[in-house]
Amino acid sequence: MTLHRILAMLATVAVLTSCGANSETKTDTAADMPKAEKKVYGKITKVDVGPTIDESMVKSGHEVFETKCSACHKMDERYVGPALGTVATRRTPEYVMNMILDTETMIQNDDTVKCLLQEYLVQMPNQSVDEKDARNVLEYLRKEGAERQ
Ligand code: HEC
């Protein structure tokens, strides 16, 4: 085996290890990190969410989710992508919004998403959702998250 190949293998092991390091105590994904430490990537830098959940936004968000997301995501089990039932409690609102609106930037830069890509081996496509619909989807996911706490 050449030195080059050995180095390439070591690099792969290092990447896999850095992704798996946080998964030992968690069950749902291999890439959980404390919310507060995360740098924000993508075009949405701040999302204001109130303490209450807006039911009319939840309803619209649910409809968008059914047409644009449910082909790959379920709430409580992994599918083509991760289960999203608790995503709004595990991740920041900015993270969720950027996954929807600026998917490519997140896949390229965010360590959590890079690790998810390694695990799921499918690149989430940008679903061309507008910002209002994305915010409604976030509200729907917040409701699902609240029901699971
Ligand atoms: C073609 C399949 C596909 C579609 C459609 C899709 N996703 Fe994804 N999604 C994925 C995959 C796969 C991942 C894991 C990251 C990766 O591999 O790119 C992911 C990751 C995510 C994450 C991060 C999950 C976590 O645990 O951090 C969120 C949030 C998300 N998707 C939301 C959505 C929403 C909302 C929609 C609809 C607007 C959607 N996705 C549509 C496949 C998809």
Ligand 1 pocket member 127 (CB < 6 A): yes
Which ligand 1 atom sits nearest the alpha carbon of residue 137?
35
Pocket mutation for ligand 1, best pick of 79, 119, 124, 126 (most atoms within 8 Å of C-beta): 124
In this predicted structure, the answer to whether residue 21 has a pLDDT above a threshold of 90 is: no
Q: Which residue has the tokens 């997301």?
A: 69
3-147 fold: Cytochrome Bc1 Complex; Chain D, domain 2 (1.10.760)
In this predicted structure, the answer to whether residue 134 has a pLDDT above a threshold of 80 is: yes
Residue type, 122: V
What are the domain boundaries of the chain?
A: 3-147
Pocket mutation for ligand 1, best pick of 38, 73, 135, 139 (most atoms within 8 Å of C-beta): 73
Burial 6-29 (b: 16+ CB within 10 A, else e): eeeeeeeeeeeeebeebeeeeebb
Q: Which helix (H) or strand (E) holds 72?
A: none
In this predicted structure, the answer to whether residue 30 has a pLDDT above a threshold of 70 is: no
- Provide the CA 105 distance to its chain's centre, in angstroms: 12
Reported pTM: 0.85
Cβ atoms of residues 74 and 67 within 8 Å: no
Q: What is the per-residue pLDDT across 74-129, written as a single tens digit (0 to 9) for each?
A: 999 999 999 999 999 999 999 999 999 999 999 999 999 999 999 999 999 999 99
